[in-house]
Structure 1
Amino acid sequence: DLIPNLVETVRAYAAHERGVFEEVTRARAALQQAGTPGTAADANEGLTIAIGRLFAVAEAYPELKASESFLQLQEDLTDTEDKISAARRYYNATVMRFNTAVQSIPWVLVASPLGFHAREFFSAHGDTAVPQVSLG
């Protein structure tokens, strides 16, 4: 898993920054336990903030910023963020088509009695911009 690897890499250089590591761990757990798109969006925002703080800690350690494993983890994290963003767009497009269908005639006549109803969109705060991380 990418986030625990990132935490462990930074922890090796900045052992005294315990609060930041705990914040990332809590945020990651909250995201894994999210039951609805809304709670997942909130948890995702918390994780993004926590990872930003983790990268801020990394700024204080030049040898960490030059570490090949840290640079690879940063690249992997960026790639993962891009994939999550694409999946979010796909999910929301699918929800929009579904919601339109269950609210349109003739589907509305069978959707409601069968228990189909409009679904919630996944809307992360700040999801229109990729977080920028500067390592020097």
Structure 2
Amino acid sequence: MSDIGKLKDQLLYEVQKAFYDERGKGARYRLTLVGVEYIMSELGDRAYDKTVLMQWMKEKGFFEDIEYTEDEFVFKAKVKNCSLMGIREGFNSKGMQPLSCPIGNMIMNALEHENGFAPELMPIDMGAGYCGLSCAKAGTSDVVGD
């Protein structure tokens, strides 16, 4: 990674960490749209199609690969060799979960558009060379009732 890339990762980490230091874990609920404006400017309405979105991110080098499963209540993705891994490692080195995942946010935006409910990013499974993202879909009419 270039020095500019390292600097950007460090700056993003420091900004999120400062926000955490001020707000605690609640800060994560203020960062759910980080990355969404960018993806909308690049893809427009195509950003609402998860398949198109994830393929575009892979082609652009956001990550090496992504595997995902989805059911009525949960969307799970294994993101391999993500370009934002340096930010994750900053949090991991402090024994913390990352506060935000722009890639997860972009996927959650598509999920919200698809079903009308705001999903929630659950704690990230941080493995060697991958991040396991899980988004709890906030519900459907079957869950929340009529």
**Taking structure 2 as the reference length, what is the TM-score of the superposition?**
0.26
Structure with more helix by fraction = 1
Larger RCO (alpha carbons 8 Å, 6+ apart): 1
Q: Which protein shows a greater Rg? A: 1
Structure with more strand by fraction = 2
**Taking structure 1 as the reference length, what is the TM-score of the superposition?**
0.28
